[in-house]
Structure 1
């Protein structure tokens, strides 16, 4: 692709992403993958250049929207792309309508030329703080409550590019290191700070070509999720329920702690995600994961869970959430919710917590998790549950479990309740992730 063709491709792809944001369609990463899968003529450099531009726009979208509103210009993907170039690569604006190039984007019209001129004189620093750091209004109060004086630092970290984290599968190589497992890329990784089995690379690594990945010796998983799985503190012979299993990342991480003894009951409402889990567990050599699709609600769901009522040693509850802690990886996620959507999520989260609690036997534990940093999805949900459960449940301090389950130094939590664990990129280097460990007394 010529540079002008990359711009045209970027505008076309951004149009698809903007439409998906508006109607709740597929996430940006899937749309990017699908776009280039259908255009195999695009080389690796072309794909990288277009993708980097798209994600840069998403990471500054709130500022771009503010600028368009301030200049009374309609919001379109093309306008967003033009403003992005005006800010980051103004020399490329001359590629619009490039003479003799049929793949170039259309020439700038008079309104777009006026937009560029006006944007050059706009005082971008006058934008409100939440816009400066690309935080939608519906999240701002929650971010302030969580981070306080560290707000700018915390949100800026969420706007950075996420590293690649992997986990060694101890079911297959219990005592090995990544250097021995990866044939081509091990020098690009360094050991995790917190996770016992994890490694991180800030460089581009094509794991798909690694035999270790293809054979299930390593799994892609953020360090925070690995830590959360360790804090389940599962042991051989236990009955463990993964109530919102998705594609099974937590189940696969817990299985090595159980040494394929006992049972992990992996439930989800998505047949597609569970189909992926079945492929992954075969590849990983997991023999103690039982995969079951649940109805979203109603008698069928209750009937499927009834045999486990009051019998589980552990329930993992990685509930649906806003994903605010994963904005480094999915920057478009922040515009897929609003205040009303968060309220609806909170009702789902509280309902799942009550449902999961019904499966725990006396002395067993429920581990509530989200990949969010918002207190409304984390402490507030758990503390409301505890307040309404009498003395049947108690919060277990994450630090006491950490000392038994992990070999690393226990980090200080950003949670508003010191018993709970809240991780965040700016302070821990992980995704934003919350864990509360609850124990049934009777």
Structure 2
């Protein structure tokens, strides 16, 4: 059997293995081969804003009136919030059961926000961004808001015009499919570069902290998310959960960007038969505000700083930390390590100085090879899981479409 005849996921796994071997045996080639990965992520990021704009605009302009679609979108948003709070609670429980400490050294570079309000204000201003600037800067909330407004405005346009919008959306979607086919090559380059430059030595001293982070994310992905799907669909949730982890999570693990994974998730949602009116909106929104993995990272690293300094954590303070982690996670950008600079916000709850909290951020960057990859995989796959669960809510019993191509 030819390699090209294998499915996309087996090809990606082959790319992971070959990238690991090449990075270990030929580290001198890492920078050159890493360019393949950078080009792949760059192509995804380039096409994603345009895809969101035209797909959402076309879907709204051509969809039939249904109040049910609006209710389902509100349910997806509610699941996003519940998921982030649940993730913070899981991280809190594990961090209390297995307390971690860190070696405080030097501060990290960067300018963290000063308050949760500034994060939420930034989100609001992104919504009203200039449409051209939103496309140029990959501001997905801005692209989404203009897509919704234009879609509503074009609902009364002639049928021929609305049909042309759908043709445009189909054309951009076809470009996305071509880009996604390059995933095995791109991930080969990303893995090769990561293995050759980072290796495992930098992670050894913080293995316990990384283990707590990854464990919390696995609990969220394999226990909490399936429970939410079951409560809505009353069916075995694991086929769809594993399908999303396989096709969305694996790609996001290596691209480490929720924004870059938007085309992958839109393609997966279409294959799963999710309502186009729902997923064309929920997937871009989820890539921006649904940061369950970020809530885990913020909570876990903050508590590691608390345990290092010997600060006692009361129950009200712990619950407030979970709420702050969930809210601030909404403002985490969909780029690699976007959640780390939000840690000082949570640390401020316990009177931890900015200098110390930025040292915690530095530790986060050390383990980001594992932390950020697992975080993005959870964030991105959860977008599709929750969208699917809400889409199936209220539908009659039927087989899960987990084997569709």
TM-score by length of 1: 0.21
TM-score by length of 2: 0.22
**Going by fraction, where is helix more abundant, 1 or 2?**
2
- For the pair shown, the structure with the greater C-alpha radius of gyration is 1
